[in-house]
Amino acid sequence: MRTERSGPALSRVLDAVDVETYLVCSSAQEGRELARLLGRELNLGDVDVMFEEFDGYGVRVRLRAMVHRPAARYAWLGEVEKEGRG
Amino acid sequence: MKSILCVPLDPVHDVGIKLIRSALAQRGHRTELLSPDLPAEEVVRRAAAEPWDYIMVSRTLGYGVAEILARFVDLLDAAGVRERSKIVIGGKPVTSELAAELGFDRGFGEHSTVDEVVAYVEGREAGAGATAAARTKPDVTAGFTYDVRHPRVAELLSTITERTLAWAQARTTPALRRVRLREAILDAPEAERNRLWQEYHTLCDGPIAEGNRDGSLPQGVRRVREGEARALRALLAERRAVGARGIRHAGAKPLMFKFLGSGCPVMDIVHAKVCERYGLDGFLLINPSWEARYEGLLDGLLTHENDGTITSEQNIRLVRELLDPASLLTVRAHRGLNTPETVLLAARAGADLTKINLVYGSLGAGTDPERLAVDGLEAMRIAARHGMGFDIPGNDELSGVPAWKSLAGQLATAAIGCALGARPILKPLFCYGPHIVLHGLMADNFVDYNLAKVRSLRSLVDAPIWPGEPIAFMTQTEDRVQSANATSYHAALAATAGVEAITVASTDEAYSRGPIALASRIDSIRAVADAYRFMGGAQLQPTAGVDGFTQRITDGIVTTLEEVARHESLPQAILAGALGNAEDGAYPGTFGRGSVTADGR
Amino acid sequence: MAVDARVVGIAGTAKNTGKTTALNAILAAAHPRGVAVAVTSIGYDGEAVDNVTGLPKPRVVLPGGALATTARSCVPPAGWEVLEATGSWTALGEVLLVRCLEPGAIVLAGPNRRSELARVVERVQALGPSLVLVDGALNRLAPMSVASAFILATGAARTADIPALVREAAAMESFFRLPARLPGRAGAPTVVHTPFPSVDELVEASACAEDAPVEFSFLLPVHPDVLVRVTHDRRLRSHVAAVTFYDPVLPLLCGDAVAMAAALQRCRERGVEVGVERPVTLAAVTASPFLPRPQGQRYVADTVPAGALLAAFRSALRSPVVDVVAEGSEALWEAVAAAAAPGSTS
């Protein structure tokens, strides 16, 4: 599975990176779009907006970027690539 | 009375629509709940069979479901139902945009409450951005007699008050001279003001005078640009709180307060507006710690890149102007050399409360006790004149002072305040302070000792109690969830203790390397709201140890007051260490030492 | 070619079938020709990202001078002039009529029901545009019966089973090709006032015809099965001579288009005339190969082979079939202009 997220530190993220923040916006819709865009601007690729609540002035959001999903190749595991020959 | 047809198109998730139906039926509306397994055509027939006012559909969404709902809306339209009935959709992922795309007249999503739906049906909504009903501003000090119930304590407080007032009578400070000038400036015609300002600046320290006269402001301070202020007003004019909430589940106590003091009034105000939407009752404007060192206050709409929003008339006015009129505003005045002037500006700018503590302002915040006493008394008079209450922060416990000494100091300050016609508020600190740690007073739990502070005070005096600043001090780490939890548990305790108000910190409380983020404020408010929902009218049960603690604190208060009463005045007692000494980790402050002079009147 | 102020609706068979792409193509072709346009919607079209799949969606881009309807909270901060409030309310608030001052993207919002759409379209027409476009929402159709010409946007997002997709499109096309007929020519018209009537209800309603041949006139939806069964119900005193729908949108709404087309064919085989009171032209069908494919918890943008899709459609349908992305906007414009021209018939 192609992943947009890689790097010396990102490869050590066990599973996910969460971003908690508050975005100023004028509608819940705009907030959602901004939240996704923020994920891209932070170079986290496609993020899942786990939580968002629009209060009239902006949105409180929690974003999640999955780095290592279950069944993916875990960069932090240090798996041995080649099998030894007997 | 309205007629509502409830259509659960989702057999699994129909609890929401059942709750709404039940609420509507209880209010006397005609409702009918269809079975969830009716085919769309049958639902359309039932919808067309009578002139329903509302047809409420509930459905979760997923790929393909939107089209099913859209077709259903089409059928209702083609069947002529839309001419008579409004159609409404509810479900977790529903937003206004989705409802509009699907063709519904209104959508309710995961943050909507049953009450909001009922209000919509009954036509009570103000519009898409409806806020909670207009709030009335509470008075924290209302209904309290300030009677001292403990005869010995009453006697001691009376002695301390008399002596301190007598001692202060013939004394003045530059702050007292400045506050009279400032009052004159506020009331003077334009032509007079320059001269008065000039005289004012002769009583100020260099950086303050230069900042005001020449505009050479201290490092990190700049004027708020006109464009910024205008943009802020425009932003707040075009936006309204959406989905406003309350924090308390039931009842009107305790009131919730938070600090403001990012350094920038613009940032403070935006934080405050969002906090208001989350149900906060009021705010405490906190000034920079360096202000305590200088004689005189900077003037103008000023922003500052470090902690603390500058105490200027214009800053306070702007905050007051843009806060909800029903939000309470406290301005901190208990530190430094400008106490009376701060209270005056606060009063004139429309603040509701201030902070004055003749003890902690010295032991914990660096001002010379004699200077603070003379200034503080004048500040109390000003507060009294303007009908402003003042709270007495007890953060001296954080240096290591035992609780009873801090509370004794608060009672002494309160007694003096009452004698001057002011209305004080006591602030036991819900904390895990050094004295508590050293003596293992909270080895088992955080409930007993905190509760004992409140119980002791309640047994001694009929006065408002407002734990802070903030509650849960020294129990929070930089971990967001832990910090929110710590705050919420202490908030639950405050409700059990029946106190009038509390100050709650953000989840950034333990973080000292930068300003507080709005998301962190929201998180702590939500945690407190959840705690109150959890507890409702239930109570936290202390252990049997609470009684021993209460007695110990009361005894300690009496002993401390006796010690204080042996001195000529309260400030002398502070200097002598009666309310906290070197062993306790408390040292009387030095700012303004030697600045108290005989009053030439 | 001049186009008078006709109303053209763009309806989709599902989300992501290319309505906005078709709309943008017509707008792009109208502008250099100096055709003044107005655009409204029967819902809301503006999200940059699909709220279910998370995949990006095209924005509606209008030329300077164009009129549009939108919700108050969606009016862009600059480049647009608010002309008036329409008095039509949606889940997003009141619908406003705006004029584009500088070319740009806008979020469309419009009346959500037929009666209101008719009123708003009338108001818009009075302001002088030559062409009024009604943007559909999802697969919604009902309000669009105010249009005189349709573009049907379908594609792999509806189903990746191409033969089934083509069958459905052909069935839908057949409704637009139903002959115009006024109820009452063949017998006493029986107007049905209940949506989705049962066979019993239809039989009962037809009793007023007595011994005359029955003509069912449907203004409200009816189930295809019921249509077939009622035509040979023995309780009828006479035979069913004709079935008339108010317009082609009605049979489109009634459920499975293929089932409805088959039902109407069975009716015709039994000698029942089938027609529509108010014909609407199907100007074109657009076929989009775009297919959002679920992959775990997310969706990825995929396509079916565009050439094969187009060929399958063209061999089954008689109306112009256009792949706007592959072939450009001219083909679509020609089809729309032909359909919207005065005196055009389907």
Q: Which of C50, C52, C74 to mutate to test the interface with A (most CBs of A within 10 A)?
A: C74
User: Across chain B, what does the average pLDDT equal?
Assistant: 92
Neighbours of C154 (CB within 10 A): 26
Structural domains counted in chain B: 2
Regarding whether B59 and B196 lie in a shared domain, the answer is no
Average pLDDT over residues C88-98: 90
- Residue B570 and residue B160 in contact, taking contact as beta carbons nearer than 8 Å: yes
For residue B4, give Cα distances in angstroms to B49, B365, C50, C246.
Answer: 13, 62, 31, 30
Task: Indicate yes or no: CB of C49 within 8 angstroms of CB of A27.
Answer: no
Average pLDDT over residues C216-232: 90
* Nearest CA distance, C55 vs chain A (angstrom): 10
- The span from the CA of B476 to the CA of B511, in Å, is 10
- The span from the CA of B16 to the CA of B94, in Å, is 13
User: Across chain C, what does the average pLDDT equal?
Assistant: 88
pLDDT surpasses 50 at C345: no
Total length of chain B: 601
Task: Indicate yes or no: CB of B41 within 8 angstroms of CB of C53.
Answer: no
- Tell me, yes or no, whether A76 lies in a domain: no
Average pLDDT over residues B54-68: 84
Looking at residue B543, its pLDDT comes to 97
The reply to whether B537 touches chain C by the CB within 8 Å rule is: no
Task: Indicate yes or no: CB of B73 within 8 angstroms of CB of C221.
Answer: no
- Residue B5: beta bridge partners? B32, B55
Regarding whether B190 and B77 lie in a shared domain, the answer is no
Which of the other chains make 3 or more beta carbon contacts under 8 angstroms with chain B?
Answer: A, C
- The span from the CA of C221 to the CA of C201, in Å, is 14
- Tell me, yes or no, whether B468 lies in a domain: yes
- Taking CB atoms within 8 Å and a gap of at least 24, the contacts of C325-331 are C325/C21, C325/C288, C328/C25, C329/C25, C329/C26, C329/C28, C329/C29, C330/C29
- Residue C16 and residue C57 in contact, taking contact as beta carbons nearer than 8 Å: yes
The reply to whether C73 touches chain B by the CB within 8 Å rule is: yes
- The span from the CA of B559 to the CA of B572, in Å, is 17
Average pLDDT over residues C334-345: 73
* Nearest CA distance, B375 vs chain C (angstrom): 52
- Residue C237 and residue C247 in contact, taking contact as beta carbons nearer than 8 Å: no
Q: Which two tokens stand for residue B269?
A: 């105000």
Regarding whether B283 and B159 lie in a shared domain, the answer is yes
Average pLDDT over residues B174-186: 96
Q: Please list every residue in chain B whose beta carbon sits closer than 8 Å to the beta carbon of residue A58.
A: 274
Question: Which DSSP symbol is given to B63?
Answer: T
Task: Indicate yes or no: CB of C52 within 8 angstroms of CB of B61.
Answer: yes
- The span from the CA of B480 to the CA of A60, in Å, is 15
What domain range is A35 assigned to? 14-66
Q: Please list every residue in chain C whose beta carbon sits closer than 8 Å to the beta carbon of residue B97.
A: 44, 46-47, 51, 91-92
Regarding whether B315 and B213 lie in a shared domain, the answer is yes
How much is the ipTM here?
0.91
- Residue C335 and residue C343 in contact, taking contact as beta carbons nearer than 8 Å: no
What element of type H or E holds C284? strand C281-288
Q: Please list every residue in chain A whose beta carbon sits closer than 8 Å to the beta carbon of residue C49.
A: 32-33, 36
- Residue C341 and residue C3 in contact, taking contact as beta carbons nearer than 8 Å: yes
Regarding whether B175 and B88 lie in a shared domain, the answer is no
Question: Which residue, among C15, C18, C44, C107, has the nearest Cα to C299 in the 3D structure?
Answer: C15
Q: Please list every residue in chain C whose beta carbon sits closer than 8 Å to the beta carbon of residue B70.
A: 137-140
What domain range is B7 assigned to? 3-121
* Nearest CA distance, C145 vs chain B (angstrom): 10
Task: Indicate yes or no: CB of B103 within 8 angstroms of CB of C140.
Answer: yes
Question: Which DSSP symbol is given to C77?
Answer: S
* Nearest CA distance, C241 vs chain A (angstrom): 53
Task: Indicate yes or no: CB of C49 within 8 angstroms of CB of A36.
Answer: yes
- The span from the CA of A52 to the CA of A63, in Å, is 9
Kindly list the strands in the beta sheet with C240-245, ordered across the sheet, starting from the edge strand earlier in the chain: C188-192, C214-218, C240-245, C273-276
- Tell me, yes or no, whether A38 lies in a domain: yes
- Tell me, yes or no, whether A9 lies in a domain: no
- Tell me, yes or no, whether A58 lies in a domain: yes
- The span from the CA of B290 to the CA of B303, in Å, is 14
Looking at residue B364, its pLDDT comes to 84
* Nearest CA distance, B476 vs chain A (angstrom): 19
Average pLDDT over residues C270-285: 92
Pairing of strands C214-218, C188-192: parallel
| CATH code (residue A54) | 3.30.30.60
Average pLDDT over residues B403-419: 98
Task: Indicate yes or no: CB of C73 within 8 angstroms of CB of A27.
Answer: yes
Q: Which of A29, A33, A63 to mutate to test the interface with C (most CBs of C within 10 A)?
A: A29
Regarding whether B380 and B235 lie in a shared domain, the answer is yes
Structural domains counted in chain A: 1
- The span from the CA of C221 to the CA of B81, in Å, is 12
Looking at residue C192, its pLDDT comes to 82
* Nearest CA distance, B117 vs chain A (angstrom): 18
- Closest residue of B to C15, CA-based? B67
**pLDDT tier, C73 (very low <50, low <70, confident <90, very high otherwise):** confident
Regarding whether B116 and B63 lie in a shared domain, the answer is yes
- Closest residue of A to B520, CA-based? A21
The reply to whether A4 touches chain C by the CB within 8 Å rule is: no
- Tell me, yes or no, whether B318 lies in a domain: yes
Domain boundary among B100, B121, B142: B121
Q: Which two tokens stand for residue B316?
A: 């306070």
- The span from the CA of B456 to the CA of B443, in Å, is 20
pLDDT surpasses 50 at B282: yes
Regarding whether B202 and B54 lie in a shared domain, the answer is no
Summarize pLDDT for C158-210 with one digit per residue, the tens: 999 999 999 999 999 999 999 998 887 776 788 888 899 999 999 888 887 77
Regarding whether B259 and B116 lie in a shared domain, the answer is no
- Tell me, yes or no, whether A72 lies in a domain: no
Q: Which of B60, B69, B77 to mutate to test the interface with C (most CBs of C within 10 A)?
A: B77
- Tell me, yes or no, whether A71 lies in a domain: no
Question: Which residue, among B46, B594, B529, B540, has the nearest Cα to B370 in the 3D structure?
Answer: B594
Counting beta carbons within 10 angstroms of the beta carbon of residue B549, is it exposed (0 to 12), middle (13 to 18) or buried (19 or more)?
buried
Counting beta carbons within 10 angstroms of the beta carbon of residue B184, is it exposed (0 to 12), middle (13 to 18) or buried (19 or more)?
middle
| CATH code (residue B500) | 3.20.20.440
Summarize pLDDT for B497-554 with one digit per residue, the tens: 999 999 999 999 998 888 999 999 999 999 999 999 999 999 999 999 999 999 999 9
Question: Which DSSP symbol is given to C184?
Answer: T
| CATH code (residue B71) | 3.40.50.280
Task: Find residues 90-109 of chain C whose CB sits inside 8 Å of chain A.
Answer: none
Regarding whether B290 and B166 lie in a shared domain, the answer is yes
What percentage of residues in chain B have a pLDDT greater than 70? 97
Looking at residue B9, its pLDDT comes to 83
Region of residue B70 (phi > 0: left; psi between -120 and 50: alpha; otherwise: beta):
alpha
- Tell me, yes or no, whether A50 lies in a domain: yes
Task: Indicate yes or no: CB of B75 within 8 angstroms of CB of C142.
Answer: yes
* DSSP secondary structure letters along C107-133: -EE--SSHHHHHHHHHHHHHT--SEEE
Task: Indicate yes or no: CB of A56 within 8 angstroms of CB of B243.
Answer: yes
pLDDT surpasses 60 at C86: yes
Which residue type sits at C311? A
Summarize pLDDT for C4-44 with one digit per residue, the tens: 458 999 999 988 899 999 999 999 999 899 999 999 999 88
Looking at residue B134, its pLDDT comes to 59
Helical ranges in B440-479 per DSSP H: 447-460
Which residue type sits at C125? Q
- The span from the CA of A21 to the CA of A26, in Å, is 16
Give residue B26's Cα distance to chain centre: 36
Rounded to two decimals, the pTM is 0.75
- Residue B85 and residue B47 in contact, taking contact as beta carbons nearer than 8 Å: yes
At residue B14, φ and ψ (nearest 5 deg) are -100, 10
Q: Which two tokens stand for residue C34?
A: 């100096």
Q: Please list every residue in chain A whose beta carbon sits closer than 8 Å to the beta carbon of residue C294.
A: none
